[in-house]
Chain A
Amino acid sequence: MMFLELGSMVFAVSMASAAGLVGCFAVMRRMTLAADAISHVALPGIGIALLFHLQPVVGALAMLLFGTLLIWGIEERTRISTETIVGVVFSVALAIGSLMASGEELIDALFGAPGLLTGWETALGLIGAAAVIIFILKARHSLVVSLVSPDIALTSGINVARLNLLYLLAFALTVALGLRYLGVLLMGSLIIIPAATARRLAKSLNGMLSISVAIAVVSTALGASAGSLFHRDTGPIIITSAGTIFFLSLLKRQPR
């Protein structure tokens, strides 16, 4: 029991760190709405998994990967903006998902379910979180250059299309990591809110990455401890904490 609790705690911290890192580039690339919507694509996957008595996270991950590839593919082949594509894919996914899941299952999928993770869930989660963290830290230079201008990224020898795909996959994986704790609706927020706050407070890239990770981890820790203390779901407390820090950051005056 102690081991599982410790494992869950380490997993929560890694999941929050991955969310904080991935979120920074979502915020800087101006794809916050798109990013939030991608997370909802998991819902039909959860529905299918429940239908076939599989682990919900397996279905969610499969659907997220499929949705990501679909969005990336349409984006590469057409001139439709990411926001539009994601908007369409998201609405359809949410509609299909709510048809397949129902009642309590749907609520759990949307907002996360309390309770300890099993051993294998923790192990897989840790591997996933480590993959995302390593990818963002290694690719942050390429991501910054392609953020400023895809054309100069190209002449610097960066494969921009491949980088975009890898980033979207890292994003999808991060969403899948948080589904159990936060659910489909709230995980997008743990990715976006700490990064949006960090963007206001930071003056450099490393500053933004560090602040974002710190806010995501603190919010998650607050949510987990307050949740068990007051016997409430952790997800909503995590997001309320992150949101409170964001509103407090508005007190800091922006230059100009």
Chain B
Amino acid sequence: MNQSVSSREPANALEVEHLAIRFGTTEIFRDLSFSVPRGSSLAVIGPNGAGKTVLFRALIGSLPYQGSIRWAAGTKLGYVPQKLDIERDLPVTGGDFLSAKAAVVRTQKGAVLTALAGVGLDKAVLNTPVGALSGGQFQRLLVAFALIGSPNVLLLDEPAAGVDAPGQEQLSDLVRDLQAERGMTILLISHDLSVVYRYATNVLCLSRTYNYVGPPKTVLTPEVLSRIYAMPIGFHVHDVP
């Protein structure tokens, strides 16, 4: 396990070399190497159980691993986890939750309102218990939470899961704006190949047996996808409007 922050000003926000993760005797993946240039976006795709969430959890330092993970100096992470189970009667409001982040990263309270507006949530969410929010609202709250403290790298684990169609559109636009306007580096796990095709600079395909990294045009081909998902996949470039 060798997680380090390099001191020079590198072109890459993240460099991963020979990464291997195992749970007991089960190997999740091995010898995974890729890098993410600053200000680019990397989409991670692959079948269920390929280790996409595990990879993200290793990247944030929450799981033990072998190999090396190097974040550029000055990296500030924002992480949006996959759908969380929150007890419905938890007496913690959206406001409590966002203010907690503002207090922990020692930023001004105004950051809460800015983040809330950024994800298109109504102020009423501030007084609503988090357990009473809909799945989509809570997901957007998690994105707002990640944005407080001005991170320069955002890791999103299926942020659109459970979000309605207009909400998904809004999230995609938000992520694209964050990348374009603030120069944020984005790492995104997604099952929506058309979103991946349109927005990602590079795609990392994870599966138990093969890993591919490259621009969407070279990776999102029927041949590669069929190999990754171990079944024919009917995704073609002309599917994307």
> What's the least CB distance linking B223 to chain A, in Å?
35
Chain B residues near A148 (CB-CB < 8 A): 84, 86, 92, 97, 130
Chain A residue nearest in CB terms to B80? A152
Interface residue B105 (Cβ < 8 Å from any Cβ of A): yes
Whether the pair B90, A155 counts as a contact (CB closer than 8 A) is no
Task: Report the separation of the CA atoms of residues A208 and B129 in the bound assembly, to the nearest whole angstrom.
Answer: 12
Task: Report the separation of the CA atoms of residues A147 and B86 in the bound assembly, to the nearest whole angstrom.
Answer: 10
Interface residue A144 (Cβ < 8 Å from any Cβ of B): yes
* Interface hits, A169-209 → B, CB 8 Å: 198-200, 202-208
Chain B residue nearest in CB terms to A152? B79
Interface residue B149 (Cβ < 8 Å from any Cβ of A): yes
A141 contact from B61, B84, B104, B149, Cβ within 8 A: B104
**Which one of B62, B99, B105 has the greatest number of beta carbons of chain A within 10 Å?**
B62
Interface residue A255 (Cβ < 8 Å from any Cβ of B): yes
Interface residue A145 (Cβ < 8 Å from any Cβ of B): yes
Interface residue B29 (Cβ < 8 Å from any Cβ of A): no
Chain B residues near A206 (CB-CB < 8 A): 96
Task: Report the separation of the CA atoms of residues A198 and B62 in the bound assembly, to the nearest whole angstrom.
Answer: 32
Chain A residues near B42 (CB-CB < 8 A): none
* Interface hits, B83-109 → A, CB 8 Å: 84, 86, 88-93, 95-97, 99-101, 103-105
Interface of A is mostly: helix
A156 contact from B88, B130, B149, Cβ within 8 A: B149
Task: Report the separation of the CA atoms of residues A147 and B96 in the bound assembly, to the nearest whole angstrom.
Answer: 12
> What's the least CB distance linking B86 to chain A, in Å?
7
Interface residue B132 (Cβ < 8 Å from any Cβ of A): yes
* Interface hits, A137-154 → B, CB 8 Å: 140-142, 144-145, 147-152, 154
8 closest A-B pairs (Cβ-Cβ)? A141-B100, A155-B79, A141-B103, A202-B91, A205-B96, A208-B91, A155-B77, A144-B100
26 A-B pairs within 8 Å (CB atoms) are namely A28-B91, A140-B100, A141-B99, A141-B100, A141-B103, A148-B130, A151-B60, A151-B62, A151-B81, A152-B79, A152-B145, A154-B60, A154-B61, A155-B78, A156-B101, A156-B105, A156-B149, A157-B104, A199-B91, A203-B127, A203-B129, A204-B96, A204-B129, A205-B93, A205-B96, A256-B88
| Chain B interface residues toward A at CB < 8 A | 57, 60-62, 77-79, 81, 84, 86, 88-93, 95-97, 99-101, 103-105, 127, 129-130, 132, 142, 145-146, 149, 155
| Chain A interface residues toward B at CB < 8 A | 28, 140-142, 144-145, 147-152, 154-158, 198-200, 202-208, 254-256
